[in-house]
Amino acid sequence: MLGWEFPPIINGGLGVACHDLSSAMSELADITMIIPKSSPDFKMKNMNLVGINTIDLSSIENYSESKLPFELKTIPADLNPYYSEKSGESASFNASSGIFSGDRNTPKTFDIDHLYGGDVINKVMQYADITASLASKMDFDVIHAHDWMTMLAGIKIKQQSGKPLVMHIHSLEVDRSGVGSRGWVYDLEKKGMEYADLLIPVSNFTADNICNHYGISRSKISVVHNGSNIVKSFRSKRKFKEKTVLFVGRLTRQKGPEKFLDIAAKVLESNPDVRFVMAGVGDYFKSMLEKSSYQHIGNRFHLTGFLNQEKLRYLFSISDVYCMPSISEPFGLSAVEAAQFGIPCVISKQSGVAEVLSGSLKFDFWDVNKAAGSILNLLSDPVLRKKVVEDASKNLNNITWDISARKIIDAYAAKQFI
């Protein structure tokens, strides 16, 4: 397995999903997970976790800089798909030749401290070279790569080993940047998915995007929804009397933070005794702060910034409604976490989690009025609230990582990889 982040060093849902899935799969298969950065004290049962930061890179023999089986070129563009005001950089790149248009860092200077900052593409290339070298000395049956950051590594390892390549799609460039996005990351995703032997998107929503926006055949795709771990829920006493509506996620275009602000304004027009809490960081943080003031709802709209798991669970424990207005959400684990705390969810139809939380209230992300109406109904109608919570509780029985792990092994077997 090839991953980009892993607990306890994580930036978001990808690291958590990789950890929980691989943990469940380790009961069914022998797994070696190679990641850029691991904590030396962090151990996994039945799994070999390899962090590049723990390896003496100067000792690696046959450092791989092999050519790719296809051309991958783009004009100069922003290198960081997780763009922020401080991280915008530009350059051009020709991945087919393995030559970076600038000073190519040696493995010894691989910057693993900021995986999503600065020159992400150069880090992706270095990760691919290093992991291919490590894999050349390993025995394995299947290469399983998570998201675009590990696709090049998976391609190189397939080239040198001839083993089947599985690409697990947690998110796409068309989710992050819009369906019109065309750049180096999109090209890599398209070429990588064409070269892979099996694609495992986390939802039918993502599978449709793969077919519609990348031209990939459905016959290559096996959908496996994300799972969840059992969480011991609790309720806490809040320090204010108003009811609470919660948003958890990166403050980026994809997650729809502006929609959440508009929904909040609509709700507060009818019921001023509600507080809206937005937990997360991202490029939209400053604009959300400013717009909430301009709309004169700043005293009812709170931005927390980044919160650790303990503080997030406290927020879940005091919330009355969870709202996820994502514009394009491959899955949406945060909604599952909210449901585990008995919080009724109002989620966009443009999400994978809407496929498995069938009892939640759904809306098209642009339909602010419907979302606001659903929230108002949940806050005022205890019968509706009880039904939504009970339906979600039944749904949770089928949202487990053990089920996801078994489906992946079955997908391997169906393709005769094992």
Phi first, then psi: give them for residue 247, nearest 5 degrees. Answer: -125, 130
235 band by pLDDT with thresholds 50, 70 and 90: very high
Residue 223 pLDDT > 90, yes or no? Answer: yes
What's the whole-number mean pLDDT along residues 305-318? 93
DSSP state of 11: S
Three-class SS state of 47: strand
Q: Find the radius of gyration of the CA atoms of the chain.
A: 22
**CA distance readout (Å), 395 to 58, 149, 316, 390:** 50, 32, 19, 9
- Is residue 98 predicted with pLDDT exceeding 60? no
pLDDT tens-digit map of 57-66: 777 765 555 5
Q: Which of 182-186, 190-194, 226-230, 267-271 has the lowest mean pLDDT?
A: 182-186
pLDDT recorded at residue 83 = 41
- pLDDT score for 113: 66
On the question of a cis peptide bond just before residue 8, with omega within 30 degrees of 0, the verdict is yes
Please name the residue that has the structure tokens 């980009």: 4
Q: Are strands 274-279 and 301-305 parallel, antiparallel or unpaired?
A: parallel
Average pLDDT over residues 20-27: 95
Classify residue 66 by its DSSP letter. P
pLDDT > 90: percent of the chain: 68
Q: Which CATH superfamily is 243-396 part of?
A: Glycogen Phosphorylase B; (3.40.50.2000)
Q: Is the pLDDT of residue 104 over 50?
A: no
Average pLDDT over residues 331-342: 95
Report the pLDDT value the prediction gives residue 14, as an integer from 0 to 100: 86
Question: What per-residue confidence (pLDDT) applies to 67?
Answer: 63
- What pLDDT is recorded for position 69? 72
Question: Tokens at residue 411, please?
Answer: 């997908």
CATH number of 13-227+402-414, picked from 2.40.400.10, 1.20.1090.10, 3.30.360.10, 3.40.50.2000 = 3.40.50.2000
**Arithmetic mean of pLDDT, 221-245:** 94
From-to residues of CATH 3.40.50.2000 in the chain = 13-227+402-414, 243-396
DSSP letter for each residue of 78-117: ES-SS--TTT--EEEEETTTTEESS-PPPGGG---S-TTS
Tokens found for residue 275: 């507080």
Task: Provide the pLDDT for residue 65.
Answer: 54
| Residue that has been written with the tokens 């009397």 in this structure | 241
Contacts of 99 (CB under 8 A, 6+ apart): none
- pLDDT of amino acid 102: 35
Token code pair at residue 16: 């958590």
**Which of 41, 26, 398 minimizes the C-alpha distance to 227?**
398
- CA-CA distances (angstroms) from residue 52 to 129, 154, 208, 380? 12, 16, 35, 53
Q: Which are the contacts of 97, defined by CB distance < 8 A and separation ≥ 6?
A: 67
Sign of CA dihedral 400, 250, 254, 168: negative
pLDDT of residue 16: 87
Confidence of residue 99 (pLDDT cuts 50, 70, 90): very low
SS3 of 161-223: the string is HCCCEEEEECCCHHHHHCCCCCCHHHHHHHHHHHHCCEEEECCHHHHHHHHHHHCCCHHHECC
For residue 105, pLDDT beyond 60 = no
- For the chain, percent of residues with pLDDT exceeding 70: 86
Q: What is the mean predicted confidence (pLDDT) over 190-212? A: 97
Residue 214, pLDDT above cutoff 80: yes
pLDDT tens digits for 264-308?
Answer: 999 999 999 999 999 999 999 999 989 898 888 888 999 999 898
Mean pLDDT value across the chain? 87
Mean per-residue pLDDT for 314-341?
96
CA angle 215, 16, 117 (to 5 degrees): 75
pLDDT at 111 over 70: no
